Amino acid sequence: MGVEFVPIDQLYSEADFIILTCLATEQNRGMIDKSALSKMKKNAILINTSRGTLVNQKDLYEALDKGEIRSAGLDVTTPEPLPLDDPLFKLKNCVILPHIGSATEATRKEMMELAETNLISGLTGKKISDRIRAA
């Protein structure tokens, strides 16, 4: 497949696209910050479809505004929804979507079917699949 595991700093400095698709944890909170952004190529494109807490948005704004990276696409932000006066909205090189990564007909149908199955299972005393863990 041509995939090679590399240290994160090497990834930042060599990747054209950096796409965040990981869980949000205390260990990776703000992993995309001024330090990470400064290591990225000038033509790098950052895409976050995971959780807004992975990106320090103030640092991202500064990097985009100064042209330190090419652009960003954010499906998630902190907070959600992002206030309309947030400076990220003013940037031409930043696309912000209203957390619609799962908004396909197929995904919504599957979510509806899972909710229906869990509701019926719960009401009839059967095991509920995909239980939500308490935080």
| Catalytic center residues | 99
Rounded Cα–Cα distance for residues 4 and 2 (Å)? 7
Rounded Cα–Cα distance for residues 68 and 70 (Å)? 7
Contact in structure between 64 and 94 (CB atoms under 8 Å): yes
Contact in structure between 52 and 80 (CB atoms under 8 Å): yes
Name the one residue in this structure whose structure tokens are 């209203």.
98
Contact in structure between 68 and 91 (CB atoms under 8 Å): no
**Main-chain phi, psi angles of 52, to 5 degrees:** -65, -30
Q: For 104-119, give one letter per residue: b (16+ CB within 10 A) or e.
A: eeeeeeeeeeeeeebe
